[in-house]
Amino acid sequence: MTPEGIPGAERDRLSRLFVDIASEAGIAVMDVYRSDFATRHKADRSPVSDADERAEAIILDRLARDLPGVPVLAEEAASRDGLGGGLGDLFLLVDPVDGTREFVQKKGDFTVNIALVSHGRPVAGCVFAPAREELFFGGASAWAIDGFQPGGRVEASEARRLATRDYPDAGLTAVTSSSHLDARTEAFLAGQTLAGTMAIGSSLKFCLVASARADVYPRWGPTMEWDTAAGHAVLEAAGGCVLEPDGAPFLYGKDGFRNGPFIAWGRTPL
């Protein structure tokens, strides 16, 4: 048993279930993406499109069927109905389109995120970037599939095992938000020995670290738990970690499900 009480084999099974669900939702996302869609704004002024709502409906229906009784917090339902109270020690987090700004701008760097949280830790997750045809998933182990199309299945695809890399002697490669870089994140980066930086939208930042294309992802700008849990699960399964700036574990189920600052590391923090 793991410290979270879920065996590794079950965590891997759940991550593959999330792939199946995200793959189905990806069909609806790409149908909207390829159309002349309209964008609306929620109360917090963040953008939303039909893709968010259609994909979330698919995901919630599947989760209710496949994991009955497990509470779910999904972004669009939370925006519409409120966050509600606590979810207990075991719950699901869903972001049907993470990186909506990238979606609206037709950049392609958006993802479908599904994660299971147990006792504050994300223990299984899936990050699917349907426009890029990139899939990342992890429970006890982490995997990626290139060329994974909406409607695809893991069993019919060639997955590669993910593992983070040792930090290069030449310095770290840092990945940052393409639309939310703030002064505190820049100050953290200024204190590191860097070989390079890259910027990308959505939870793909965690996946770049997990797949050994980057070494660190610092974030002081605001995020919600559904933005980060799936990528966090993939990164930890690949050998990385996500910590608060003081080194404390970065946990879920916080007040209002709002994240504070964090640093995602490929290996032992520097």
For the stretch 29-56, pLDDT in tens is 999 999 988 777 666 657 678 899 999 9
Say what angle helices 225-237 and 8-33 make with each other, to 10 degrees: 130
Taking alpha carbons only, the member of 106, 126, 144 closest to residue 30 is: 106
% of the chain exceeding 90 in pLDDT? 83
What is the number of other CB atoms lying within 10 angstroms of the CB of residue 77?
18
- Whether 29 and 136 map to the same domain: the answer is yes
pLDDT of residue 99: 92
pLDDT of residue 49: 83
From the number of C-beta atoms within 10 Å of its C-beta (0-12, 13-18, 19+), residue 161 rates as exposed
In a domain, 3, yes or no: no
Q: CA Rg, the chain, in Å?
A: 17
CATH code where residue 69 lies: 3.30.540.10
Please provide the distance, in angstroms rounded to a whole number, between the alpha carbons at the two ends of the chain.
30
pLDDT digits (tens, 9 = 90+) for 55-75: 999 999 999 999 999 999 999
In a domain, 224, yes or no: yes
Taking alpha carbons only, the member of 38, 6, 214, 34 closest to residue 125 is: 6
In a domain, 2, yes or no: no
In a domain, 1, yes or no: no
- Whether 45 and 146 map to the same domain: the answer is yes
pLDDT digits (tens, 9 = 90+) for 137-157: 999 999 999 999 999 999 878
Name the residue range of residue 179's domain: 172-265
In a domain, 223, yes or no: yes
Average pLDDT over residues 224-244: 98
Statement: residue 173 has pLDDT above 90: yes
pLDDT of residue 2: 59
Residue type at 218? P
CATH code where residue 253 lies: 3.40.190.80
- Whether 108 and 25 map to the same domain: the answer is yes
CB-facing half-sphere around the CA of 269: CA atoms within 13 A: 15
Question: How high is the mean pLDDT of the chain?
Answer: 93
Dump the DSSP string for the chain. --TTS--HHHHHHHHHHHHHHHHHHHHHHHHHHTS----EE-TTS-EE-HHHHHHHHHHHHHHHHHSTT--EEEHHHHHHH---S---SEEEEEEEEE-HHHHHTT----EEEEEEEETTEEEEEEEEETTTTEEEEESSSEEEEETPPTT--GGGS--EE----PPPTT-EEEEEESS---HHHHHHHHTS-EEEEEEE-TTHHHHHHHTTS-SEEEE-S-EEHHHHHHHHHHHHHTT-EEE-TTS-B--SS-GGGEE--EEEESSS--
- Whether 45 and 73 map to the same domain: the answer is yes
- Whether 86 and 48 map to the same domain: the answer is yes
% of the chain exceeding 70 in pLDDT? 96
pLDDT of residue 42: 66
- Whether 31 and 127 map to the same domain: the answer is yes
The structure tokens listed for 143 are 């995997």
- Whether 15 and 131 map to the same domain: the answer is yes
In a domain, 270, yes or no: no
Q: What's the structural domain count of the chain?
A: 2
- Give the predicted TM-score (pTM) of the model: 0.95
Last residue of a domain, one of 138, 161, 184: 161
pLDDT of residue 1: 47
In a domain, 147, yes or no: yes
In a domain, 86, yes or no: yes
